[in-house]
Copies of this chain bind each other. A is one copy, B any other.
Amino acid sequence: MFAEIITIGDELLIGQVVDTNSAWIGCELNNIGIEVLRITSVRDRGNEIIESIDNAMKRADIVLMTGGLGPTKDDITKQVLCDYFQTKLVFDDSVYKNIKRILGNRVPMNKLNKSQAMVPENCIVINNRVGTASVSWFERNGKILVSMPGVPQEMKTVMGEEILPRFKTRFIADIILHKTFLVKNYSESVLAETLEQWEESLPEFVKLAYLPSLGIVRLRLTARGHCQTTLQKELDEQSLALNKILKENLINDDASLEEQIGKKLRSLNLTLSIAESCTGGNASARITTIPGCSEYFKGAIIAYHNNIKIALLDVPKAVLDVYGAVSEETVIAMAKGAMKRLNTDCSISISGIAGPDGGTETKPVGTIWIASAYKNEIRTMKQEINRGRGMNIERAVNNAFLSLLEML
């Protein structure tokens, strides 16, 4: 079973908006054994949208579209679908009622909102619980096309509640199992060489993929077939083999580092605090992406200015004067200060020069010190790669999380 995704909107092509819908849809379809062949982003032009639909319908069994369903002038998807499927727009009372419900008292019903109650005839119309744009589901010659709103939260809601359940019951698809690992201390090419022989010995129905991240390589084994038990057994055996090759450098968990930290802290009944300087809140923001993190995460101090490091993290002024803010001594003091001031069992601290400016001869841009502390133990590391402000920050947070995980 093959699918294609078409995302519509000038804003995608001029780069004002990053298309995050496609990756989310791809991931969800993959989980139920539907493979995405291609993702196409097109402009708000009728003929270009029609050409993309036509090509996708030739190659794939399912075409999922997002965007172009809003109330404004450039939202032309419904009319284009009518042209393509030779039908017309008709008024739908249940969609109209849904629009009224969604707008509530906040927004008056105007003619543009009313136009959203016009839907293509000869298709299944599915209401959108969290927005005013409805979903159109077409079936022609054994193929399915579904047009969904482009607002990510609305797309995810209708897809999760309405579209995926229908796909699941309709299609007896292949079973696809994934197992993902994190690998520390290896570059992608050295890892590929180390694993070459093992990779070649994998059976035909198991595939290995490399997904490089910052300071870490993500490996994914995918098994595909009809028998869940066989697939699972093979993945388990290959995981064992991989563990033998990579030993302590392999993390047998496909969860994100922040999820792993959450699980670990929860199971050990420990609390965490963070002291950040150059990462400016990114470590805390990632920890708090996990719902329920308030059970183990007490808070953080973003000590951008040195005075804050002194006043709120008890970093001795002498340490800053002698070693500087970007030093092993400072991150040790910050980690201790965070544990004490926020009264936690563990902490992470980060201080460095994220760039683009602020580097010196001895401490060039990209120099970032990291400490992780657990009770009386403190580990430190120095990161020394400059790949630009954003990537330096992301890598530092990854390294701090890895370092804490190792200690726990």
Q: List the B side residues contacting A38 at CB < 8 Å.
A: 13, 40-43, 48, 52
Are B302's CB and A281's CB within 8 A?
A: yes
Known contacts A23-B19, A41-B39, A209-B10; is-contact A71 B107 (Cβ 8 Å): no
Q: List the B side residues contacting A312 at CB < 8 Å.
A: 299, 301, 312, 341-342
Q: List the B side residues contacting A25 at CB < 8 Å.
A: 15
Of chain B, the residue at the smallest CB distance from A107 is B187
Q: List the B side residues contacting A15 at CB < 8 Å.
A: 22-28, 30, 36
Are A48's CB and B37's CB within 8 A?
A: yes
In chain A, positions 281-328 with a C-beta closer than 8 Å to chain B are 281-285, 287-289, 291-294, 297-305, 307-308, 311-312
A141 interface residue per 8 A CB criterion:
no
Known contacts A22-B41, A192-B73, A312-B341; is-contact A298 B288 (Cβ 8 Å): no
Of chain B, the residue at the smallest CB distance from A292 is B357
Of chain B, the residue at the smallest CB distance from A284 is B281
Q: List the B side residues contacting A298 at CB < 8 Å.
A: 304-305, 307-308
Are A304's CB and B308's CB within 8 A?
A: no
Are B24's CB and A113's CB within 8 A?
A: no
Contact of A72 among B24, B41, B189, B279 (CB under 8 A): B189
Q: List the B side residues contacting A111 at CB < 8 Å.
A: 193
Q: List the B side residues contacting A121 at CB < 8 Å.
A: none
Q: List the B side residues contacting A37 at CB < 8 Å.
A: 13, 42-43, 48
A46 interface residue per 8 A CB criterion:
no
Contact of A299 among B70, B112, B308, B390 (CB under 8 A): B308
Are A356's CB and B302's CB within 8 A?
A: no
A74 interface residue per 8 A CB criterion:
yes
A359 interface residue per 8 A CB criterion:
no
A364 interface residue per 8 A CB criterion:
no
A225 interface residue per 8 A CB criterion:
no
Q: List the B side residues contacting A70 at CB < 8 Å.
A: 188-189, 210, 212
A153 interface residue per 8 A CB criterion:
yes
Q: List the B side residues contacting A43 at CB < 8 Å.
A: 37-38
Known contacts A15-B22, A23-B17; is-contact A302 B280 (Cβ 8 Å): no
Q: In whole angstroms, how far apart are the Cα atoms of A291 and B312 in the complex?
A: 24
A20 interface residue per 8 A CB criterion:
yes
Q: List the B side residues contacting A289 at CB < 8 Å.
A: 280, 389-390
The 8 A CB mask of A384-408 against B (1 = contact, 0 = none) is 0001111100000000000000000
Are B110's CB and A193's CB within 8 A?
A: yes
- Distance from A83 Cβ to chain B, minimum over Cβ atoms (Å): 19
- Distance from A192 Cβ to chain B, minimum over Cβ atoms (Å): 4
A257 interface residue per 8 A CB criterion:
no
Q: In whole angstroms, how far apart are the Cα atoms of A374 and B190 in the complex?
A: 54
The 8 A CB mask of A249-281 against B (1 = contact, 0 = none) is 000000000000000000000000010101111
- A residues with a Cβ closer than 8 A to B are 10-20, 22-28, 30, 35-43, 48, 52, 70-74, 106-108, 110-113, 130, 132, 151, 153, 156, 187-190, 192-193, 199, 209-212, 218, 220, 274, 276, 278-285, 287-289, 291-294, 297-305, 307-308, 311-312, 341-343, 355-357, 387-391
